[in-house]
Chain A
Amino acid sequence: DARVTQTPRHKVTEMGQEVTMRCQPILGHNTVFWYRQTMMQGLELLAYFRNRAPLDDSGMPKDRFSAEMPDATLATLKIQPSEPRDSAVYFCASGLVSGETQYFGPGTRLLVL
């Protein structure tokens, strides 16, 4: 049963620290999405990759957030420096260019103190 995996599952850090979240998409999937979920804003799309190329990162605060796909099996989302308002659950999802369904990972729950 192929699944999207995310690490770490939980992260507590202090304001100003760097945070790196990792995602392993389902093997063979060529689109990767990063979402952020908060009580106030709901589910927000942060960035989107197709065949490892970033296509849309308009939802991401550019000054502190960065997203990359070093290879087809790894996507990363980095926050530097982190702020308390970044506290949220961050989800990665993957899918096929030819399809529409997105498959979500379990999320990284981030708390910035």
Chain B
Amino acid sequence: GDSVTQMEGPVTLSEEAFLTINCTYTATGYPSLFWYVQYPGEGLQLLLKATKADDKGSNKGFEATYRKETTSFHLEKGSVQVSDSAVYFCALSDRFSGGSQGNLIFGKGTKLSVKP
């Protein structure tokens, strides 16, 4: 079945460092890909999404490009801030990928800590 694998954390960076969180997926068909962010004590929030190959999702300085050839959707940010400290989840939607329900399949999450 469909699955998402993301790098294990925690990831600790200094402020203004470059961030990459790796995410790869296994799916039949052409899933949409998502990054969600969870700040401490809160629910998940959509950070960005991409619906087809070579699409780039971007928001709040974060970017991720849908790479079909490498089945990847890595999250990047050029200069992280302390306020970016959170858990980041990669996910895919099986709606157009052979799945019948349109569920989101989540990775296990990567905790990011940014130090001043």
Stretch from B20-28, B38-46, B78-86 forming part of the interface with A: B38-46
Q: Which of A43, A100, A107 contacts B89 (CB 8 A)?
A: A43
B68-116 with Cβ < 8 A to chain A: 89, 93, 95, 101-104, 106, 108-109
* Centre residue among B43, B101, B106 by max chain A CB count within 10 A: B43
The B interface, classified by DSSP as helix, strand, loop or mixed, is strand
Q: Across the two chains, which residue of chain A brings its CB closest to B96? A: A100
**A113 vs chain B, min Cβ distance (A):** 21
When chains A and B are docked, how far (Å) is the Cα of A93 from the Cα of B106?
14
When chains A and B are docked, how far (Å) is the Cα of A1 from the Cα of B108?
29
Q: Across the two chains, which residue of chain B brings its CB closest to A103? A: B46
Contact partners of B45 in chain A: CB under 8 A: 104
**B25 vs chain A, min Cβ distance (A):** 14
A42 touches B43 (CB 8 A): no
Contacts A43-B109, A55-B101 given; indicate if A100 touches B44 (C-beta within 8 A): no
Q: Answer yes or no: B58 CB below 8 A from chain A CBs.
A: no
Count A-side interface residues using an 8 Å CB cutoff.
20
Contact partners of A93 in chain B: CB under 8 A: 43-44
Could you list 14 A-B pairs, sorted by A, with CB under 8 Å? A4-B43, A31-B102, A42-B106, A55-B101, A56-B103, A91-B44, A93-B44, A97-B102, A100-B93, A102-B104, A104-B43, A104-B44, A106-B42, A106-B43
Known contacts A33-B103, A104-B36, A104-B44, then 16 further A-B pairs from the complex at CB < 8 Å, ordered by chain A residue: A4-B43, A42-B109, A43-B44, A43-B106, A45-B103, A55-B101, A56-B103, A100-B49, A100-B51, A100-B104, A101-B46, A101-B49, A102-B46, A102-B104, A104-B45, A107-B43
